[in-house]
Structure 1
C-alpha cells in the first residue's frame, strides 16, 4: 500500500494534482500564511524533497484585500490553463460575526509551465458570491463542459461558522448560478468547539461524486464527513446529495494521530491506487490558537472501497518515525 506519513512537515490544507505531463503538483498553506508555493515531482515521495517555488506573494500588509492570512491554495488545470484558488483577508481582525474576514480569489497562469515565474501568474480578482461574509476553501468540479465551484462560507442566519455551497461557473473565476446550500454543521461531530463544514474535496468514482469535507475545531476534534451524489444527477439540487450521518475519517487518539482533515485526492504513479491527502497533528498540547501552531503535517495514504463502491478510508497511518 502507498503511504507517506508524513510526506511533508508543516504544510496544512494540502492539495496534490497529477497532471497529464506526468508530474504531481503540490501546494498547501505555509505556516507564515504570506505566499503561495508550488512544488512538483514525477513521484509522490519526490515531493518531499522538491524545491518549492513561490508563484505569488500577499499584498503589502494593511493594503486591502489579499494582504493577510493566505489560506488553502489549490491548483487546477481548466480549459487548457492553470488556475489557483485561495482565500485571503485584508486584516487579521475579526468581523462583526466574530470571524476572520477572508474572501476567495483566483490566479491564472499565462504560461504552460506553472513553475516558471511569479510574473506568469495574474490575479483574476475576488470570486464573488451573493453574501459578503467569511468564505474560503474553494475547489472545482468539472463534468463535461460544466464547471462547478464548491466552497465554505458563513451565513449569519445559520448557526455555526461555515456551510458548504455549490454553484455553476461561467468561467473559472465567475459564478453563473445562484449558490445551493449543500451541508451545514448539524451533527455532534461537526460542532465540537466550532460548528464547521469546510475544506470540500471531490472524488469521482464508481458512477458517483463523493464530496468529502472537514468539521469541528482544527484541533484533535477535526474530522472528515462525506456527501454522495449520482454522477448524472442535477448537482445544483441539494436533494441530489446524500449526507452521511457519521464521520468517515477521524483521530486515532491511541497513536497520537489527531485532527485529520482538509483533504484532497490523487492517484499512485501507476494509476491503480487512489490516495487520500490530508493534514494531521501528532500532539494535542497546543499553546495558544491552534491556527497558529505550524505542526499540521501533510500525509498521504492509500484507501479502498466497500462492496457498494463507497470509499473506506480506515484510520490515519502511523508516523514512519515511530
Structure 2
C-alpha cells in the first residue's frame, strides 16, 4: 500500500497543476488587453465588443473576466469599436481604441478617466491626429522616460505597424515611422484563402533589460493568424533599422490541440511572479473571423531572454505552470 501511495504522489507531481476554477476560453470576445500588474488588487481586461468599451476585472490573471463594467457607450453614431487598451499616465487612465464614424475611415479614439479610479467614469476626448490616415489597433510603448503610440495603418494595401512619439496622451508629435510591414509568407496567410498581408496588434513586452514588440501576422480571419516578434536593438525606437523581426512566428496554430489563428497577444505578471500570455483564437480552421475567444496560459523565457510562448494549450482547465 505504501508503495502504491508513493506512486500516486509521484504521478500527481508529474501532472501540471490546474488553476482553481479557471478554464479556457476565459471570455468570448477577441482582441484582449490586460493590465500588466493588478490595479487595487484586480487585473483589468479589455476586449472588442463592437458597440461599447467594457472593462472586465478579476483577482487573478486567469479570472480577469469575472466582472464587467461598461465605461463608454457612444451616442453619436460611432461604431465598430475595436481593440481597446488602457494606460496609466499622470494619475489618470487613458483608453485608446479603434472606431469609425459614419462616412469616415477607422481612427484611433481616446477616453480619459475622470478620477484615479480606472473603473470609474470616463470622458470622451475624440480622435487622435494621425495625419488623416485610416488607423486601428492603438497601443503604447514606454522607453527612456517617453511614450510612443503604436498603431496600424490600413490604407496601403496591407496592414502596417507605425509608431509616433506622444508628448501627452492626446498629442502625437513629430514624424511617424513605419516599424513593421508584412514580408514573410506567414504574414501573408500562405496556404489559405485569406492571404491579405497583415502586421497588426502591436504590444510591448519587456524583460531583463530587453524590449520587444509582439504583433499579429496574416489576415485576422485566417487559421494561420499568428504572433510575430520584433526585438529592439538599441538607439532611437523610431528608426525602423533598430528593430529586428524574427523570421518565423513565435506562436501559431496547434491543430493537435484544436486551436487555430492565435493572435492579439497581451501580457501580465501573476501575483506569484509568473508570466502570462492572453490571446484570441478559435477552435475551428474555418477561414473567417467568427467565434474568436480569449485564452490565457503561462509562458517562460529562453536562455537568451527572448519569450518562449510554447504552443496553444487545449481548451479546458488552465495549467498553473507551463
Question: What is the TM-score normalised by the length of structure 2?
Answer: 0.85
Separation in 2, partners of 1:44, 1:247: 25
Equivalence for 1:86: 97
Q: Report the Cα offset of residue 321 of structure 1.
A: 6.7
Q: 8 Å contact 1:209–1:229 — kept in the other structure?
A: yes
Q: Report the Cα offset of residue 197 of structure 1.
A: 0.6
1:10 aligns with 2:21: no
1:303 aligns with 2:299: yes
Matches within 5 A, 1:200-215: 200-215=202-217
Q: Report the Cα offset of residue 269 of structure 1.
A: 1.6
Q: 8 Å contact 1:7–1:48 — kept in the other structure?
A: no
The Cα RMSD (Å) is 2.0
Equivalence for 1:137: 137
Equivalence for 1:257: 259
1:105 aligns with 2:109: yes
Runs of 4+ in 1 over 3 A off after TM superposition: 1-5
What SS does the aligned partner of 2:219 have? coil
Separation in 1, partners of 2:108, 2:85: 12
Deviations 1:91-113 (A, max 9, x none): 4x8x8xxxxx2110111001122
Q: 8 Å contact 1:23–1:42 — kept in the other structure?
A: yes
Equivalence for 1:64: none
Separation in 2, partners of 1:257, 1:46: 21
Separation in 1, partners of 2:304, 2:237: 21
Separation in 1, partners of 2:155, 2:27: 34
Q: Report the Cα offset of residue 126 of structure 1.
A: 0.9
Q: 8 Å contact 1:220–1:258 — kept in the other structure?
A: yes
Equivalence for 1:229: 232
Deviations 1:229-270 (A, max 9, x none): 14x531111111111111111001222201000111111122
What SS does the aligned partner of 1:189 have? helix
What SS does the aligned partner of 2:75 have? coil
Separation in 2, partners of 1:165, 1:6: 32
Counterpart among 66, 76, 97 of residue 49 in structure 1: 66
- Alignment coverage as a number of residue pairs: 293
Separation in 2, partners of 1:21, 1:229: 32
Q: Report the Cα offset of residue 76 of structure 1.
A: 1.1
Counterpart among 187, 192, 204 of residue 190 in structure 1: 187
Distance 1:255-1:182 versus aligned 2 partners, 3 A rule: same
Matches within 5 A, 1:162-173: 162-173=159-170
Separation in 2, partners of 1:274, 1:227: 19
Equivalence for 2:43: 24
Larger of the two Rg values belongs to structure: 2
Q: 8 Å contact 2:28–2:294 — kept in the other structure?
A: yes
Q: Report the Cα offset of residue 297 of structure 1.
A: 1.1
Q: Report the Cα offset of residue 173 of structure 1.
A: 1.6
Separation in 1, partners of 2:174, 2:25: 38
Q: Report the Cα offset of residue 155 of structure 1.
A: 4.5
Counterpart among 49, 54, 71 of residue 37 in structure 1: 54
Q: Report the Cα offset of residue 128 of structure 1.
A: 1.4
Q: Report the Cα offset of residue 36 of structure 1.
A: 0.6
Question: What is the TM-score normalised by the length of structure 1?
Answer: 0.85
